Each structure stands twice: as C-alpha cells, then as structure tokens.
Amino acid sequence: MIIDLSKKIREIFKRSQTAMNIVITFVSRVSTALFLFLTMVIISRHFGVEAKGIFTMFFFLPELIFNIGHLGIGNSNIYYISQDKELSKKMFYNTVIQTIVMSALLSLLFLMAYWFNPNIMGKLNPVYIYWSLMLVPFIFLEKYLQSIFVGNQKFKLFNLLLFISKVVTFVITMILVYIYSQSL
C-alpha cells in the first residue's frame, strides 16, 4: 500500500513540472527559514538583545526602503515577461538601470531625512545606518531578479536566489561573530 502510494507520487512528480516547482519552492522556503532561525539564535547568543536590535535594523532598513520605492516594477516584470518571453532581456537591462536609479535616489532621500533629523533612528551609531544603506542596491536587484525569474517561470533560479541571499546573511553573521569574538 505505502509502496504503491510512493510510486504514484514519484510518477506525478516526473510528469508534472508544477508539482516539482511546488516541492522545490517548499524545500527552499523551509531551508531559508532554518537559516534565518540559526542567524537569529547566533546573534542573540553572541551579541545579546541590544545587538539583536541593531542586526534587525541593519537588515530591515534596506527592506523598508525597497518596499517604499519598488513602484510595482517586480509585478510588472512578471506580467510582461509572462506575456512575451522575448522581453526578458530588455526587462533585465531596464531592471538594472531602475535598481541603480531607485536605490541611489531612495538612499539619498533617507540620508537627507536622517541628517535633518538624526533622532528618527534613535541613538543608533550612524555607521550602522551607512552600512545598512549599502545593502539597498542589492535588495532591489535581488527582488527584481526574482520577478524576472518568476515571469520566465524559472522557479529553480528564483528559489536559488532566495536561498543564496539567506546563506549570505548567515555567512556575514558568522564573520561578524568571529570578528567580535576576536576583539574580546
């Protein structure tokens, strides 16, 4: 009974690209969640509550800036590429230009707001804010590339990009833990 069910499930996955994409996406999301969980545990254990807040701000600020300034470009990429696959190359170049322009413009606007009112970030060391703003172009590019991959229905690349970004976050955290432990 169980063997027959297992054979049927394998057969479905061999025939259905959609089912395979669902499984790959699920595994990618679970592994991404595990890396984020490990990152938060390591930060909490090695740096304490205050530093956890700094790390959270460090990764939250670029995401906030992206959410303010994405202008639905990712959604339009998905729509237009799914309508005409030939647009993919043109959309990629437009996306790179939009990434540069929007991330620079929004980072500059945030910096101006911060310079006029430093209290918007509390008593946080400005160095953390400047380092965090350096992530903005990468966040824009990551999100826009994900939309291009979805529009082209390349879910493996979409999930790979998502997974790699969380692994990079984990590696950066491990490097910071190592630097911090060496300074004690």
Tokens of 142: 């990551």
Q: What is the pTM of this model?
A: 0.78
Least confident span in 40-54, 74-88, 95-109: 40-54
39-56: per-residue pLDDT in tens? Answer: 888 888 877 777 777 777
Per-residue model confidence (pLDDT) at position 4: 67
In whole angstroms, how far apart are CA 94 and each of 77, 122, 149, 152, 161? 10, 37, 15, 16, 19
Residue 122 phi/psi, 5° resolution? 70, -145
Tokens of 182: 């060496």
Per-residue model confidence (pLDDT) at position 3: 64
In whole angstroms, how far apart are CA 138 and each of 4, 8, 24, 50, 126? 47, 42, 24, 26, 20
pLDDT band at 108 (very low <50, low <70, confident <90, very high): very high
Per-residue model confidence (pLDDT) at position 177: 76
